[in-house]
Structure 1
Amino acid sequence: MKDLYADFIRSWAPNETTVENHYRFDIFTVAIDHQAQELNSIFSEQVTELLILCTSLDPSDSFSLFNIDKVCSLVLQFCPADFLEQERCQLRHYELDVPTNPKF
């Protein structure tokens, strides 16, 4: 992996790239960029934001990712008519009480 990479297509250009560098950066980054572009074309910006905001509701690790600001943003953007102002205020109590409750 530490040997110099032999680029047969551009053999005329000076080459100081190692095999590891070629596969790690030239190949891997291109593949990741391609997949990211493909996912961006499939999901709209609103759907992507919804998925990001929903991560704050992940129950794993005792709701360690719970974020009251993300939950409020989720409520206000996607279902404002379903929650009263009082119910939104109760989220603050939930954030303080539930994670410290041993039964939870």
Structure 2
Amino acid sequence: MFEWMAWTLPVAVFFGCIVLMLVGMTVWELKSPTIERKGFLPIRTTRGDRLFIGLLSAAYVNLLFVAFSEKLMTAMSLEEEPSIWISFVISMALLALIMRKG
């Protein structure tokens, strides 16, 4: 069923984090309903809005990293492509920033 996708450890951790965030946000919303607020994003957002925007941003960071990792390897004269864990950490930091300050 899942043979079409390369289920590596970073991919599994990334999707596991998404599932945990969705469960956590659901519990948080049930315990403390959200209110709209204005952060650095150009619109008023709720926690759910910021999570959605953050997840999209995280996905784009990971896609850009995969797209440019070979070029980065060549430019920096590396023996192998940079670890995908780098993009995972960057994307989770971006997500945390958007959730906190967005």
TM-score (norm 2): 0.29
